[in-house]
Amino acid sequence: MTDEFTVKIEGFATPGCGIARIDGQVVFVEGACPEDVVKIKITKKNKSYANAKVVEIIEPSPHRVKPFCSMQKVCGACQLQFIDYDYQLELKRRIVQDAMKNIGGLDIVVKDVIKSPEILEYRHKIQYPVSQTKVSKRILAGYYKTGSHELVNIKHCPIQPKICDEIIDFVREKAYEFGVSGYNEKKHSGDLRHVIIRNSAYKGDNLVVLVVNSNEVNKNIKKLAESVYENFSEVSGVCVNFNTKKTNVIQGNVSKCVAGKDFVVEKILGKSFKIGANTFFQVNPKSAENIFKYVKDYISSNFKNPVVLDAYAGITVFGICVSDVCEKVVSVEENTQSCKMAENCLKENGIANVEINNMDAGEFFQKENRKFDAIILDPPRKGCSKESLNNALRLSKGKIIYVSCNPATLARDLKYLTEKGAKVESIQPFDMFCHTYHVESVAVVSLT
């Protein structure tokens, strides 16, 4: 454990680690890039692999660059920022390719990753945990260090719009002034747990959400919310979200608008969407638009007036975006608030051929007997249950379009589908989360 070794990095693995070998054993090296020659120190070892950190870079990889953010090494949010962007894309393609081979047992060539239209100021949803120093009682807001719950106070983040830095800094200052305390995770005490900002890439306005350790809006939180709204013309509204649970879940189920509007408007493929305090929506809308266009183009090119199922639909962005090339879209989403917002979106966009079902996707699958020309699956990171996959096979006339943010669960689920006789036509990755190891993929599965 105290020995140092000089190694050449020969591969790459999530979460953002280089791969080396010492006497045949795999070593995962934090902060290393393929083709680096580095001196490393072992930090953890077991029978099958070891973890290590870089002590010295002896020969840097040709793909290694200087991070554009001074906080990159301590923040933990942008694991790949020290690697040039084009090579980041290649590494992400390999992550998906390796998952398909090693987990899915699939012999398929993964396409090149479609890059994000923006790689700076691309992140339009910001979620900052909040804490407070013991002595000075200064309010801190930022991201956690890698593998810890030690908060890094972030003053400037280049991957989010600049206005978000200004709003967060104002919240820190005014929270202290108004006597709003930061959250203490160990003691489960304090007022303000998180500050969330949803910035509209379409209009540039912002919805600010203050997540509080309470079931009501106390006078100090109210003053803070009103002050943020009054001091920023770019803020369309401020909501308070209530979360008293002793958990790592960021938001509770209930939010209250304290000032202004309770939404911002985003636009995707010419369609308008209202994004509220508890609404799931992609953090990188311009890259997300590439995904929606890819799916829409596939449906338009391969079907004439199809009936399409949009499962795990959220506010039914997929369904709404593809609706004008479909005879009908049937949407399924268990979150009631998301369904209500979807219904409002349909009215505002003048769309009459989308049916909203407010229920769990698994329950819907079990009771449904209609057949669909294509089924769009966009599940959370854990992927689909076997029951849902079986029912998707039962209800689809021929195509399943599987959208995934987790290559491992995508590979697992594709393996299951192929074991049932399906064939994977293509896998197209997209860079939704620039400078991180995360990658979004769209897999097209044929049942005939």
Q: How many CB atoms lie within 10 A of CB 108?
A: 17
Q: At 305, is the secondary structure helix, strand, or coil? A: coil
The residue type found at 36 is D
Tokens representing 343 are: 């219904």
316 — phi, psi (to 5°)? 65, 40
The residue type found at 218 is N
CA angle 99, 280, 209 (to 5 degrees): 130
Residue in 249, 244, 188, 189 with CA at minimum distance from that of residue 216: 244
Residue in 318, 324, 289 with CA at minimum distance from that of residue 303: 324
Residue in 50, 53, 25, 49 with CA at minimum distance from that of residue 38: 53
* Alpha helices (H) in 44-106, listed in sequence order: 72-75, 85-102
The secondary element (H helix, E strand) that includes residue 12 is: strand 11-13
Give me the catalytic one of 321, 326, 384, 405.
Answer: 405
Q: Is 17 a catalytic residue?
A: no
Q: What are residue 239's DSSP bridge partners?
A: 209, 257
Distance CA 363, CA 276 (A): 26
Whether residue 117 has a cis bond before it, omega within 30° of 0: no
Q: How many CB atoms lie within 10 A of CB 375?
A: 25
Distance CA 249, CA 148 (A): 16
Q: How many CB atoms lie within 10 A of CB 214?
A: 16
In contact, 387 and 362? CB cutoff 8 Å: yes
Residue in 151, 155, 145 with CA at minimum distance from that of residue 132: 151
Q: Give the sign of the dihedral formed by CA 234, CA 253, CA 130, CA 405.
A: negative
Distance CA 291, CA 321 (A): 11
Distance CA 341, CA 44 (A): 48
Tokens representing 137 are: 């009682």
CA dihedral 184→187→189→190, nearest 10 degrees, is -20
SS (H, E, C) 280-342: CCCCCHHHHHHHHHHHHHHHHHHCCCCEEEEECCCCCHHHHHHHHHCCEEEEEECCHHHHHHH
Catalytically annotated residues: 405
